[in-house]
């Protein structure tokens, strides 16, 4: 009777050992199966760069997707220009055009004339993808139209005004869905080219 009791005790101990061993193994494998998946988001470093020394004819404007690892982007640009002077009575403004000609003449690059298309929203949309470490020049110079100013007696005050030209740009990863959701316009992107059918057909 005593031997049978000892055998039962030994059998129970072995069974307990097996259960502990299985439990420990399960816990071990569960721990090893927990893996943190980290996804790196797309990044880009798009900047507007200019060469300008505060004299007429010197303003060049570039837009660059700086880093080699930057994701490709689509691009749109617009600009604002004004002649203004600040006096004791406040700030006065004059337009840059007399309806036919500009008092400050912008010399756009061939790239801007060929590869940007103007939308009804006032933005100029780039027809190519701007990849990492790529740059596009949009402006070559700005000159003062002295002949127009001197021949327009109604606009003598332009000589007392300062001309300001500022650029704005926006860039989104080169994905048609992202463009539609963020800019609210349709596009197709293929082989580095960007088509804006809503502009072309308007």
The answer as to whether 151 is a domain residue is yes
The answer as to whether 9 is a domain residue is no
As a three-state string, the secondary structure of 106-157 is: EEECHHHHHHEEECCCCCEEECECECCCEEEEEEEEEEECHHHHHHCHHHHH
Residue-by-residue pLDDT tens, the chain, 202 positions: 544 445 555 545 545 444 444 444 444 444 344 455 444 445 668 889 999 888 888 899 999 998 777 889 999 999 999 899 888 888 988 889 888 999 999 999 999 999 999 999 999 999 999 999 999 999 999 999 988 888 766 666 788 888 999 999 999 999 999 999 999 999 999 999 999 998 975 5
The answer as to whether 108 is a domain residue is yes
- The count of structural domains within the chain is 1
Considering only the C-alpha atoms of the chain, give the largest distance between any 2 of them, rounded to a whole number of Å.
129
The answer as to whether 25 is a domain residue is no
Structural domain boundaries, residue 108: 46-200
**How much is the pTM?**
0.75
pLDDT for position 186? 93
The answer as to whether 98 is a domain residue is yes
The answer as to whether 123 is a domain residue is yes
């Amino acid at each position: 009777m005593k031997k049978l009791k000892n055998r039962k005790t030994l059998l129970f101990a072995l069974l307990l050992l097996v259960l502990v061993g299985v439990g420990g193994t399960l816990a071990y494998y569960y721990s090893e199966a927990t893996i943190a998946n980290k996804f790196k988001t797309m990044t880009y470093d798009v900047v507007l760069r200019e060469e300008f020394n505060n004299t007429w004819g010197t303003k060049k404007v570039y837009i660059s997707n700086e880093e080699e690892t930057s994701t490709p982007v689509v691009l749109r640009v617009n600009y604002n220009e004004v002649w203004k002077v600040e006096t004791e009575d406040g700030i006065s403004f004059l337009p840059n055009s007399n309806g036919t000609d500009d008092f400050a003449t912008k010399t756009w690059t061939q790239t801007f004339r060929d590869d940007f298309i103007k939308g009804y929203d006032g933005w100029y949309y780039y027809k190519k993808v701007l990849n990492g470490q790529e740059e596009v020049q949009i402006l070559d110079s700005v000159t003062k139209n002295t002949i127009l100013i001197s021949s327009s007696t109604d606009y003598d005050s332009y000589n007392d005004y300062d001309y300001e030209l500022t650029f704005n740009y926006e860039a989104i990863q080169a994905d048609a869905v992202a463009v539609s959701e963020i800019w609210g316009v349709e596009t197709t992107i293929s082989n580095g080219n960007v088509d804006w059918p809503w502009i072309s057909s308007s």
